[in-house]
Amino acid sequence: MQIKLFDSELKLMEILWENEPVSAKELSIIAAERIGWNKNTTYTVIKKLVEKNVICRSEPGFICTSLIMKNDVRKAETEGLIEKLYNGSKKALFSALIEDETLSKDELDELRKMLEKR
């Protein structure tokens, strides 16, 4: 089952993955420091993520843990991006990346090495 996470939900998941298990209170403190959210915003996003069955909260202390893995989310988001912007073509995505004039020689060499390992 594919779960769509919005940008705000992904931001909170990043914080959760880095700190879990963590209390909702601590999540709200970190979110305030990193992204300027108030406590109510953080708690609203937590509630949405619980409803989506993406995080689990437990008592005592309203402790939050993820129910999905970061790599799985990255893979799904990447596949969605490739489908949306490149008509499902990984080759077209890769072409766009290597044609990017801001890539350094080192970055291009690293991409080449990654391809050679495949």
Break the chain into its structural domains and give their ranges: 7-66, 70-117
Q: Which CATH architecture has domain 7-66?
A: Orthogonal Bundle (1.10)
Is residue 2 predicted with pLDDT exceeding 80? Answer: no
The predicted-structure confidence for 62-104, as pLDDT tens digits, reads as follows 999 999 999 999 998 889 899 999 999 988 988 887 787 787 8
SS (H, E, C) the chain: CCCCCCHHHHHHHHHHHHHCCEEHHHHHHHHHHHHCCCHHHHHHHHHHHHHCCCEEEECCCCEEEECCCHHHHHHHHHHHHHHHHHCCCHHHHHHHHHHCCCCCHHHHHHHHHHHHHC
pLDDT at 22 over 80: yes
Residue 40 pLDDT grade (very low, low, confident, very high; cuts 50, 70, 90)? very high
